[in-house]
Amino acid sequence: MADPKTYHFKLPPYLGAPLAEPPHAWYPGVQAVQAATTSDRNAHGDGEVRAFVIHATDGVSSSGAMSVMFGGQGSWHWLIPDENEPEHKQKIWACAPEKRAAWHVRNSKSHPDVNGGKRYVNYWSLGVEIVNTMDADPFSDWQVQMTADLVRYAWSKYPNLVDVVSHAKLDPQRRSDPGRDFPWEKFQNLVLAPLPQPPLVPVAAAGLLRIVGPDGEEIDCDPHFDDGVTVAHARPLVEALGFTVHYEDGPPKTMRIARGGG
């Protein structure tokens, strides 16, 4: 059986289109306690998000989980409702602003595999709680998908986000969440599924650049992106390699490369 103390994977650099946060709403009343139950992200480090921590509530309801936050004993950024709650398949609960450090991992806890073993995980992570009893209680497909969608959203937003890890790996003596019933491999596959790509943006022919190499061959240059190769970007790079550059009016404008001194 899977061991939640081993749940962990690394994200490669994000190479897709920006993703929206999954359907969500602030948990009723939570905004009134956020200042008292979160901290300044910059208090221990540079404030960058580098990890996403997966938790389970060890309970049966969102309200039960939120009693901890309303009591000032802990906090998290999102809460995913149980299948027996009306919000299931409708929305997740937003609980703390992403720009704030939530209190979901003890400051003394760390793991050498995660962000170089640095402590104060809360200050460089995001945390999600999934409502689940962790006692032979299967997670719904929707809960797993929403957890993956949250990670993908954060991955697209925070360029330094690398580690996706269980609470159990960070605090194995005290915690076992999200538990053995959480389908970690399925979740990982959902997170790492093919990413949506930005649409191709055609540009006017006058804005295109054709590059002809020193032996007369045309150098492949994809002209379909409006932020692609431009004359201004290409010339210093080519000249730094010892070539000379001549331009011919277009369209398309042509940059003809000659060997040094040509």
Parse the chain into domains and list their residue ranges.
4-191, 205-258
pLDDT of residue 211: 65
Tokens 């009343």 belong to residue: 29
State pLDDT tens for residues 177-232: 999 999 999 999 999 999 998 776 554 444 555 666 666 666 655 544 444 445 55
pLDDT of residue 167: 99
pLDDT of residue 244: 73
CB contact at 8 A, 225 and 199: no
What CATH number does domain 4-191 carry, 3.30.365.10, 3.40.190.10, 3.40.80.10, 3.55.40.20? 3.40.80.10
β-strand pairing of 38-40 with 100-102: antiparallel
> Helices 141-157 and 184-191 meet at what angle, rounded to 10?
40
**Which residues of the chain fall below pLDDT 70?**
1, 200-241, 245-255, 257, 260-262
| Neighbour-count burial for 105-144, b at 16+ CB within 10 Å, e otherwise | bbeebbbeebbeebebbbbbbbbbbbbbebeebebbeebb
pLDDT of residue 227: 43
User: In sequence order, what E strands does the chain have?
Assistant: 8-10, 24-26, 38-40, 51-56, 78-80, 92-94, 100-102, 125-130, 163-166, 209-212, 218-219, 244-248, 253-258
Strand partners, 245: 257
